[in-house]
Amino acid sequence: NYRGDALHGSATYTYDSGERMVSTYLYGELEGPFEEQDYNGFISCRGAFKGGQRCGNITFHWEDGGKLEGKVNEAGDVSGKFVYHYPDQRSVLRGDWEEGEMVCAKFSVDGEAEHPEAPSFAHDPATATHISREPLLADPYEARRVEVRRSLIPGANEGLFAQVDLQPLEVACFYSGCRLTHEEVDSRDWAENDNTLSIDDDTVIDVPAEYSSANKYCATLGHKANHSFTNNARYEPYMHPRFGEIKCIRAVAFIQAGAEITTHYDYNEIDENGQLVAPAWYKKAS
């Protein structure tokens, strides 16, 4: 609807990407509740506008099950006190955000009081040469769910094990690391790519050999999951408030406490000679 040349009333604006904003206009300015949807209709954000500017409480949702909620500042920015909810909706990181990034937050479960001496967490995305400011600061959600032990798989070294029962589709842990291009990874020997995982068509996560041991790097432990053709978990995209865009390991079946968590490495690239591009052990096993 229009009043003169100005939008007035309920409206849905569709971006070139297919994403949509469902909102209300008052004489051409955004006013009142709004929600943002991706091209599949998933609601990624809910909040309100006043005088064309975001105001009050806002909630961001991610398809991985996490969400961030709090109150925007006077400029409509995600700055101030916010709470990030892990996918179980019981575990949270509560603290200060600045322009959309976690500055200082503490972990708690089921609303329990935060211990004053508990570690704080901040936005700490990896680069090509920097894995983490605090490589030995474990993600607190993950630390309650998984641990590293000697693998039960013949020929493997360490493996990833469930500390607690994991339900189907439950996020078990995370996989962060240095961020490389596919070209950089493809140019290396397979021996250097033991801990690599593709994020998308542009980026590969890598936990370098010097950080492979949990004594050197345990901020995330996803790189410790071994391969199995009868895997009980899988890799999925995840937006983490500390690490940014990474992947998680999500159970695909019930995993009993004490059981080893395995994923399918899914090497499927075929070279110009019709040969599978994969390490020798994978080709032999398949």
Catalytic residues: 175, 223, 227, 235, 265
- CA–CA separation, 234 vs 190, rounded Å? 22
Q: What are phi and psi of 128, to 5 degrees?
A: -65, -30
- CA–CA separation, 229 vs 264, rounded Å? 6
Three-state DSSP at 139 gives: coil
Which amino acid, one-letter code, is at 189?
Answer: D
Cα angle, residue 128 at apex, residues 126 and 131 outer, rounded to 5°? 35
CB 263 within 8 A of CB 206: no
β-bridge pairing 32-37 and 43-50:
antiparallel
Three-state DSSP at 254 gives: coil
> Tokens in use for 155?
């020929």
CB 83 within 8 A of CB 94: yes
CA distances from 125 to 23, 183, 204 (A): 33, 21, 14
- CA–CA separation, 163 vs 69, rounded Å? 29
